[in-house]
Structure 1
Amino acid sequence: MKVISQSFKNEDYIPIRYTCDGEDLSPALEWDQVANAKSYAIIVEDPDAPGGTFIHWVIYNITTNKLPEGVPKIHKSQYGIQGVNDFGNVGYNGPCPPKTHPAHRYYFYVYALDTILSEIRNIDANRLKSMISGHEVDKGFIMGKYKRR
């Protein structure tokens, strides 16, 4: 499953507007429509964080194959159900690596699922991953980098 963004190219730098140094908007994302997928889920991970993989976004029960820029940071919207990221917030919080670090990588994983999942308030990435286990029809990602100045 191919994942693309109008906001940045795969393996390129993520523009400031999608980070903690800018407007902290979620980037626009689009992916292949997958046959027999009933919904999609997205988990954004930074594997380069000092304490291990850091989660920047958890959203699921997406019923289209794209999201616009700036999904509202609320539990339930027309785009899907959002969980809690590792900042402790609902919705998207963008790249914000320590200023002393080299560029971190941010993986926007998109999961195509054969079901609509139960709505759970304040779900985290680990719980979502266990819920989607056995329901994945396909998976893809786009990766962007960011270094603070």
Structure 2
Amino acid sequence: MKRNENKQAICFLALLLSGTALADSFTLSSADITHGEFMSKAQEYQGFGCEGGNLSPQLSWSGAPEGTEAFAITAYDPDAPTGSGWWHWQIINIPKNTTELPAGAGDLSKNLFPEGSVQISNDYGVTGFGGACPPQGHGVHRYQFTIHALSTMLELPENASGALTGYMINAHSLASSTIEALYKRD
């Protein structure tokens, strides 16, 4: 009996480790932003006293888990002095065969985002990407660009809030990967 229990424990451990390895294989990368480093002026917002390029960064991902039906990308500043952070970008229902968004895909007028995907109104009140614009002298802010592998396409009302969108993304996320870039204005 003891030998059988050992086999079961080894099988369980192997299954657990393989699941962890699969989750760890889902990765996000970018030619424009780097984890732990400052973003360029190209990713700064244009408005609210900021004069950047308001350009969403190039993003690519690989290693999506089995069962992925769509992707969502979010860009969020947890350091914004709002009490609830700041949604800079949310794009949902990116087709499951997509593995990259070019720089500028967050600008609706450029039409660079995948057909069928939906961009949500950001906390600036504009649909699409809204770049970094921390208050002057507020110090370093973190900008979390996250890719989510979704178990289903999301159905949201036309004017869904950032909070509702975030809730639905997290409720259907099979795996995620984040690049946390930095920005500040002196």
The TM-score normalised by the length of structure 1 is 0.90
* Corresponding pairs, count: 149
User: Which of structures 1 and 2 has the bigger CA Rg?
Assistant: 2
Structure with more of its chain in strand, by fraction: 1
Unpaired runs of 5+ in structure 2? 1-25, 46-50
Equivalence map 1:66-85=2 (5 Å): 66-74=100-108, 77-78=113-114, 80-85=117-122
The residue number in structure 2 matching 1:124 is: 161
Structure 1, 132-141 or 82-91: larger mean CA deviation: 132-141
- Is the Cα–Cα contact under 8 Å of residues 84 and 91 in structure 1 kept in the other structure? yes
The residue number in structure 2 matching 1:4 is: 29
Distance 1:56 1:84 in 2: 9
The residue number in structure 1 matching 2:67 is: 36
Change (3 A) 1:50 1:134: closer
Change (3 A) 1:97 1:133: closer
Q: CA RMSD in A?
A: 2.0
Distance 2:133 2:106 in 1: 19
Aligned to 1:71, the other structure's residue is in SS state coil
- Is the Cα–Cα contact under 8 Å of residues 122 and 128 in structure 2 kept in the other structure? yes
Structure with more of its chain in helix, by fraction: 2
Unpaired runs of 5+ in structure 1? none
Change (3 A) 1:72 1:144: closer
Q: Give 1:4 shift.
A: 1.0
- Is the Cα–Cα contact under 8 Å of residues 55 and 107 in structure 2 kept in the other structure? no
Q: Give 1:119 shift.
A: 5.4
The residue number in structure 1 matching 2:81 is: 50
Q: Give 1:29 shift.
A: 0.7
| Relative contact order higher in (CA < 8 Å, ≥ 6 apart) | 1
Percent sequence identity is: 34
Distance 2:100 2:39 in 1: 18
- Is the Cα–Cα contact under 8 Å of residues 43 and 125 in structure 1 kept in the other structure? no
Deviations 1:49-108 (A, max 9, x none): 111311100110112121110015339953520001111110000100011111111001
Structure 1, 116-125 or 8-17: larger mean CA deviation: 116-125
The TM-score normalised by the length of structure 2 is 0.73
The residue number in structure 1 matching 2:136 is: 99
Aligned to 1:69, the other structure's residue is in SS state coil
Q: Give 1:134 shift.
A: 3.7
Letter in 2 for 1:2: T
Distance 2:106 2:56 in 1: 9
Deviations 1:93-130 (A, max 9, x none): 01000111111110012110011122542322211123
The residue number in structure 2 matching 1:137 is: 174
Letter in 2 for 1:49: A
Distance 1:129 1:96 in 2: 21
